[in-house]
A and B are shown apart, each in its own frame.
Chain A
Amino acid sequence: MLEIKNLHVDLEEEDKTILKGVNLTVEAGKVHAIMGPNGSGKSTLSYVLSGRGGYRVTQGTATLDGIDLLALEPEERAAAGLFLAFQYPVEIPGVGNLTFLRTAMNAQRKARNEPEISAADFLKLVRAKAKTLQIDAEMLKRPVNVGFSGGEKKRNEILQMAMLEPKMCILDETDSGLDVDAMKLVADGVNALRDARRGFLVITHYQRLLDHIKPDVVHIMAEGRIIRTGGPDLALEVEKNGYADILTEEA
């Protein structure tokens, strides 16, 4: 589904290379996790895939079901089925959460030549999905992420993911800033979306999120490369020994 080959990325503003040849394939139906120390390039990978400005791809490719992601605008990538759950969801005062969600859904549908969702169908759908994430009607009406707690923002990200039904979901440190209960809620939301046609890439510092979202494959990233790939046990090893051992072995 998601195929990244030999991806090299520089920061546009500074002469600094962040990704130095990333290779990664996420198959439909699988959950891959990327772990790694601060500054290893995990978040950069998620930004480059979703089309944030400020980066320059110098080598390599990234495709989603064969479509060249790097040639597309961010909105075109979203319409093609890519979704990034943000580490720091942005607050947008004055734009209601529902307006935002419906605008996004219909923009994607329009881009795919699908009919728009009616107001009634949309409301029915969003209420049902919000309920399972314990998002109440008041929170749906409020401006996007304004005054939301850390946990509410992350639940709101998962709600957007559930509504937009992407093919490929990237979660960028969705566990950061969450207490145990909120993490469980978010993980349940993600698990409810797992199916044979959807791929997940879960970026995290810590193993604890992976207790709730069980990965099929775990990658360790350091200094802009994936330095080791393994099964769920690899996350447990990191949790126990830290990154130092792996970094030394791979150096």
Chain B
Amino acid sequence: MMALAQARPPLIDARIAELRLPDGAAWSMAARAEALDRLRAMGLPDRRDEYWKFTRPDSLVQVDAPRTPVSDPAEGLDMFGDIDRLKIVFVDGIFDPVASDELALDGVQIERLAGAAQSHIHWVRDVYGTLEARGQSPVARPLAALNTALASDGLLLHVSRSPSKPVNLIYVHNSETSDAILHHVIRLDPGVELTVLEHGPAAARFNQVMEVEIAAGATFHHVRNQESGHQQRAATHLFARLAAGSRFKSFTMTANGVMTRNECAIELAGDEASAHVAGAALGDGNVHQDDTILITHDALRCESRQVFKKVLCNGATGVFQGKILVKPGAQKTDGYQISQALLLDEDSQFLAKPELEIYADDVICSHGSTSGAIDEDALYYLRARGIPRKLATDLLTLSFLAEAVAEIDDEGLRTEINARLEGWLARRRG
């Protein structure tokens, strides 16, 4: 046992030896060094870690990204095409200035992590890696610390007035061995509203951290489509801290991907804040899709909601670890969590670990988790109206996912996501 544990630091060294810091990273060196210390202290995730009980971290921590066929780059770019947005494109984790719009948006200061040395962005120095560090307790998140230490690029957004359009991060996968590490930092000033859209397979292996600091009364919307090819791997972390009366709404669509681990750690730090995290995952075949969520209530009268739906077939595995932690004194907390899997055959599995940990006495918290097959009565009803079995099954699949999709506030974005879900099902239907 000891020998194995000691084997971990060399793996870290081997892993980081392969990686290179961006030019002009000097301002962030202190934060990166601290992150590296954190990483060395906790070690890379291991199969024996309780937090990785359902998901094998091997391919996420091994030295090189496993060779992965590239996806059609044109495919991803057309998403959100009907929506006026600021496009920012990363190809295999490298900023693409030609495909991107000019990094200018009213009310938003936009910098790149890789270029931040040239600018005066004092706020980033204080924020970069801060929420990630806070998110290391009560459970370790080594891949996030690794990210902070070694991220090669990312966006730094400081929103002082609500911009007129969303920011769309577009990820393109173009190299069979790319191993991208991106770190975004977003700071919302009091009362502003920002929407961030993300889509596209980012690399053969992708490690992403997004830190979102939300000031009083501000609102953050996040809609992400992680649709990729079958072989891509991704480990993402979304950290957010909410001040009084602020709102956080995040929705993720996950489709395909041999290994996806999405962690989300949200801290409701100010009174009457609200955080919603939702996901719709589609898995067909050898895919593993893990959503691991921690929402910490640390203030009065906050509300949180987790809605995760997974459609699984042909041996796919869905994982949900979701926790609502209510700290002492976080009275009048309203916490809700639901995770459900629709198993389209008997070869697939859903592993769920819903948790409540409550140290306040005047709260309402509930959770539920189910897995089941297509409702035969509903299927018969649709078929009796002339809809063939496969199409009827797909309609009922969309029906199953609807509660998660409904967490997207904007109708146009909901329509986009539904179109992607329908497209995925239609391609599978053949």
Chain A residues near B (Cβ < 8 Å): 50-53, 73-75, 77-79, 83-84, 86, 89-90, 92-95, 99-100, 103-105, 107-108, 111, 143, 160, 164
Contacts and interface: CB of A to CB of B under 8 A. Distances in A.
Given A90-B375, A92-B378, A104-B387, 17 more contacts: A51-B380, A74-B384, A75-B385, A75-B387, A75-B388, A79-B386, A84-B384, A86-B384, A89-B381, A90-B378, A90-B381, A92-B395, A93-B402, A94-B403, A94-B405, A99-B395, A107-B388
Given A73-B389, A78-B384, A93-B402, A103 B376 contact: no
Given A92-B378, A93-B402, A164 B395 contact: no
Most buried by A among B378, B383, B395: B383
Most buried by A among B389, B392, B403, B406: B392
A157 to B, nearest CB: 10
B424 to A, nearest CB: 16
B378 A164 contact: no
A100 B395 contact: yes
A181 B383 CA distance: 30
6 contacts: A73-B389, A75-B384, A84-B384, A92-B396, A95-B396, A100-B385
Interface string B363-389: 000000000000111101111111111
Which 7 residue pairs are nearest across A and B when measured between Cβ atoms?
A94-B402, A78-B386, A108-B386, A74-B383, A104-B385, A90-B381, A94-B399
Nearest to B378: A90
B16 interface: no
B401 interface: yes
Contacts of A95: 395-396, 398-399, 402
Most buried by B among A50, A84, A92, A99: A92
A95 B396 CA distance: 8
B400 interface: yes
B391 A107 contact: yes
B399 A164 contact: no
Contacts of B391: 103, 107
Contacts of A104: 382, 385-387
Contacts of A160: 385
Contacts of A103: 387, 391, 395
Contact of A94 (B386, B389, B400): B400
A94 B394 CA distance: 12
B395 A93 contact: no
A143 B402 CA distance: 10
B399 A75 contact: no
Interface of B is mostly: helix
A50 B375 CA distance: 18
A53 B378 CA distance: 12
A21 B280 CA distance: 49
B384 A50 contact: yes
Interface in B389-430: 389, 391-392, 395-396, 398-403, 405-406
A86 B399 contact: no
Interface of B: 375-378, 380-389, 391-392, 395-396, 398-403, 405-406
Given A94-B405, A103-B395, A53 B380 contact: yes
Contacts, number: 83
Nearest to B404: A94
A92 B399 contact: yes
Most buried by B among A86, A90, A99, A100: A90
Given A92-B395, A94-B399, A164 B386 contact: yes
A75 B386 contact: yes
Contacts of B392: 75
Contacts of A79: 386
A70 B129 CA distance: 66
Given A111-B386, A164-B386, A74 B380 contact: yes
Contacts of B388: 73, 75, 107, 111
A75 B378 contact: no
B389 to A, nearest CB: 7
A160 B386 CA distance: 11
A86 B383 contact: no
B384 to A, nearest CB: 5
Contacts of A86: 381, 384
A31 to B, nearest CB: 21
Contacts of B378: 90, 92
Nearest to A84: B384
Contact of B380 (A52, A83, A105, A108): A52
B330 to A, nearest CB: 32
B377 A90 contact: yes
Contacts of B403: 93-94
Nearest to A103: B387
Contacts of B395: 92, 95, 99-100, 103
Contacts of A73: 383, 388-389
B363 to A, nearest CB: 28
A88 B381 CA distance: 10
B85 to A, nearest CB: 26
A90 B380 CA distance: 9
A32 to B, nearest CB: 20
B166 to A, nearest CB: 24
A108 B381 CA distance: 14
Given A73-B389, A103-B395, A51 B384 contact: yes
Nearest to A105: B386
B387 A53 contact: no
Contacts of B402: 93-95, 143
B385 A78 contact: yes
A51 B388 CA distance: 13
A123 B385 CA distance: 18
B99 to A, nearest CB: 34
A166 B378 CA distance: 21
